[in-house]
Chains A and B, each alone.
Chain A
Amino acid sequence: MKVELANIGKKYEGRESFTIRNIDLVIESNQFCVILGPSGCGKSTLLRMIAGLNSITEGDLLFDGKRMNRVEPKDRDIAMVFQSYALYPHMTVYENMAFSLKMAKERKTLIHERVLEAARTLQIEEYLYSKPSEISGGQRQRVALGRAMVRKPAVFLMDEPLSNLDAKLREHMRVELVRLHQALNTTSIYVTHDQTEAMTMADIIVLLDQGKVQQVGPPSEFYQKPANLFVAGFIGSPTMNIFKGRMEQGLFRSENDLILVEPNAEDARKLKAYEGKAVCMGIRSERFNAGKAEKNGITVKIDVIEMLGKEQLLYCKFPDGQEVIISEPGHFEYGLNEDHNFNFDIDGLHFFDAETTMRIN
């Protein structure tokens, strides 16, 4: 089912301003859409509005072109997985999964079939007659998914479903969820604050901040072409290095005069209009080349080394104290407090207008 949000806004009772506003979004049928954002950005509110748990103050919510603003949650053909799983503690796993179908007065044989089918898919057949309190966190997570699955919903909503799991299990469940999404042929909308989850699972990411959409697009675009400084800083680990400076005679000069970079031809063309203006330049830690070069080079002192095995993160400092994070292959040898030369890969540069924070190239 295609989900469309047209100019949607939400203002809570007793609040001065809108929590989120002017949200326009189209999620195509069968897409896996991740709504990403820092805490308090309104992403859960947005999901709850799609679910019908919160009212829509302004704008329209359309499912396949039908306006859903005033439709009861149960009639929206959706299912939702909650952060706390929200399993009914007094019911067995089976009853939990059967509950929605029972409320819809489905036939008993059909309910039984659906529950067993979901249990098989999720490998929770053994626990069907246990209470939620008797099973582990990962199993509860599966039950919560199963409860959503049995309804065969057209839209699958998930509100930070993996945040209560340990790291290993989370990694495993990420893959499972994507597999499940493909098997179920539904539109999935997934809310998270974890960029790894967003990058690995999404067909399309919506990045929210302060109640506004910052960027919409596929994960690779987020990494390679962040739309503004916020996106550039939010996506990617370690965080992108951002240098403030200005354009002088076609060259980027940083505020501390320690960086002088000549952009590649295409970037230079777009930067022409910014001659003499304040500009921010971003570069990801892996786009530095080790070694001395004639131009576009820097000399920095290594402050801290984080060894990750296949790569190492070098936390370096310029002579004036400004920091830069550089990642190099793990087998290179570096020592603390050593001065090293690196140069910029000019095809991996991001330029932003310092005033509007929007992307230039």
Chain B
Amino acid sequence: MSRKKTKSDALYLSDRQPLTTAKLISLIVSYILLIFWAFIILWPLAQIVISSFNGNQGSYISIGGEYKFSLKHFTYLFEQTYFWNWVGNTIVVAVATALLTLLIVSFTGYAYSRFRFSGRKASLMTIMLLQTVPTFAGITAFYTLHSIVAAVIPGFTRQLFLILIYAGGGIASNTFILKGYIDGVSTELDDAARIDGCGNLQVYRLIIMPIARPMLAIIALWSFIGPFLDYMMPSILLNDPRSYTLATGLHTLINDQYNMQQPAFAAGGLLTAIPIVILFIALQKELVSGLSSGAVKG
């Protein structure tokens, strides 16, 4: 006959000590705090989603009115603004920035990790220190540089210049990160590859790069997201609204009374997230293995 399972029969399987009253209370308090925190983050996001689909919203977002599902803010965005231009611009800038950063950082990170040359430490420190000066402080230098280069190469647009600024700005910290990661890869692998017939670049391309992929994925993702978030540089450097990036372009919908279209801004914000989410999902495998690879000995 099978015995009926009662609560006292159940084996206590957890590795932790049973909860005392004090611990239980502190657990409840932590949960309340966490839920409150999550609410602060999620509620505005939810408002953006709701407002962007709410046909009853005027040019200002008001909370608590009647809800009517409509796509009119999206239609406005697509038909009355340069939205698609902005999307195109941003993606071009972001992809170019990510690729350029990856390329340069690959060289610098590998070189700083593997080669001993005079001025190695000093130059690394200098780059790091220069990084403390905000990009914005260089704005006059950027203007001058651009006019000099544009005088020689007429095709050198401000957008191209923007890409260089983004990519250049990321080199220092990313070099540091990648160098640290490659330092963790045994140099015996380089030796083995060299005996197997690789030159310096092949050692990087065939051996080091595949091993450093998780870190490269993170660097790529960061560099890609940068142009989506930055509003300042494009708004100063670019003068034609059609050449704006998303952040700057959408900002025109909320920065003066005549063009005010807050729900359309919300709709644009929502759409902005899509490319980043797609890239994140594509790189997810790399990112997760990058986060966990430190914990598992290879």
Q: A-side interface residues toward B, CB under 8 Å?
A: 13, 48, 51-53, 73-74, 78-80, 82-84, 86, 88-90, 99-100, 103-104, 133, 147
| Given A74-B196, A99-B196, A133-B298: A90 touches B191 (CB 8 Å cut-off) | no
Nearest Cβ on chain A to B200's Cβ, whole angstroms: 12
Q: Is the CB of A78 within 8 A of B188?
A: no
Q: Which residues of A contact B186 (CB under 8 A)?
A: 84, 86
Nearest Cβ on chain B to A117's Cβ, whole angstroms: 18
| Given A13-B116, A86-B186: A80 touches B195 (CB 8 Å cut-off) | yes
Q: Which residues of B contact A100 (CB under 8 A)?
A: 195-197
Q: B-side interface residues toward A, CB under 8 Å?
A: 116, 186, 188-189, 191-198, 202, 207, 210-211, 213, 298
**In chain A, what residue has the closest Cβ to B194?**
A73
Q: Is the CB of B197 within 8 A of A80?
A: no
Q: Is the CB of A84 within 8 A of B188?
A: yes
Q: Is the CB of B197 within 8 A of A103?
A: yes
A274 CA / B116 CA spacing, docked (Å): 53
Q: Is the CB of A82 within 8 A of B192?
A: yes
Partner of A83, one of B116, B188, B210, B213: B188
Q: Which residues of B contact A82 (CB under 8 A)?
A: 188, 191-192
**In chain B, what residue has the closest Cβ to A90?**
B210
Q: Is the CB of A74 within 8 A of B194?
A: yes
7 chain-A/chain-B pairs, Cβ below 8 angstroms: A53-B194, A74-B195, A86-B191, A90-B213, A99-B196, A103-B197, A103-B198
Q: Which residues of B contact A80 (CB under 8 A)?
A: 191-192, 195
Q: Which residues of A contact B211 (CB under 8 A)?
A: 89-90
Instruction: List the 4 closest pairs (A to B, CB-CB), nearest first.
Output: A103-B197, A100-B196, A74-B197, A86-B188
Nearest Cβ on chain B to A53's Cβ, whole angstroms: 5
Nearest Cβ on chain B to A84's Cβ, whole angstroms: 5
Nearest Cβ on chain A to B202's Cβ, whole angstroms: 8
A51 CA / B196 CA spacing, docked (Å): 11
Q: Which residues of A contact B192 (CB under 8 A)?
A: 80, 82, 86, 88, 147
**In chain B, what residue has the closest Cβ to A105?**
B197
Q: Is the CB of B195 within 8 A of A88?
A: no
Nearest Cβ on chain A to B115's Cβ, whole angstroms: 12
Nearest Cβ on chain B to A148's Cβ, whole angstroms: 9
Q: Is the CB of A89 within 8 A of B298?
A: yes
Q: Which residues of B contact A86 (CB under 8 A)?
A: 186, 188-189, 191-192
A51 CA / B191 CA spacing, docked (Å): 9
Q: Is the CB of B207 within 8 A of A88?
A: yes
Q: Is the CB of B298 within 8 A of A78?
A: no
Q: Is the CB of B197 within 8 A of A78?
A: no
Q: Is the CB of A53 within 8 A of B195?
A: yes
**In chain A, what residue has the closest Cβ to B116?**
A13
Q: Which residues of B contact A84 (CB under 8 A)?
A: 186, 188
Partner of A51, one of B189, B195, B207: B195
Q: Which residues of B contact A74 (CB under 8 A)?
A: 194-198
**In chain B, what residue has the closest Cβ to A103?**
B197
Nearest Cβ on chain B to A240's Cβ, whole angstroms: 35
Partner of A53, one of B191, B196, B197, B210: B191
In addition to A74-B195, A103-B196, A104-B197, 5 A-B residue pairs with Cβ atoms within 8 Å of each other are A73-B194, A74-B196, A78-B195, A88-B193, A100-B197
Q: Which residues of A contact B189 (CB under 8 A)?
A: 86, 88
A99 CA / B202 CA spacing, docked (Å): 12
**In chain B, what residue has the closest Cβ to A131?**
B298
A99 CA / B211 CA spacing, docked (Å): 16
A90 CA / B196 CA spacing, docked (Å): 16
**In chain A, what residue has the closest Cβ to B296?**
A133
A104 CA / B194 CA spacing, docked (Å): 12
**In chain B, what residue has the closest Cβ to A83?**
B188
A74 CA / B195 CA spacing, docked (Å): 5
Q: Which residues of B contact A99 (CB under 8 A)?
A: 193, 196
Q: Which residues of A contact B298 (CB under 8 A)?
A: 89, 133
Nearest Cβ on chain B to A343's Cβ, whole angstroms: 52
**In chain A, what residue has the closest Cβ to B185?**
A89
A15 CA / B280 CA spacing, docked (Å): 48
A104 CA / B116 CA spacing, docked (Å): 28
Nearest Cβ on chain A to B239's Cβ, whole angstroms: 47
**In chain B, what residue has the closest Cβ to A99?**
B196
A74 CA / B191 CA spacing, docked (Å): 11
A12 CA / B193 CA spacing, docked (Å): 22
A83 CA / B192 CA spacing, docked (Å): 11
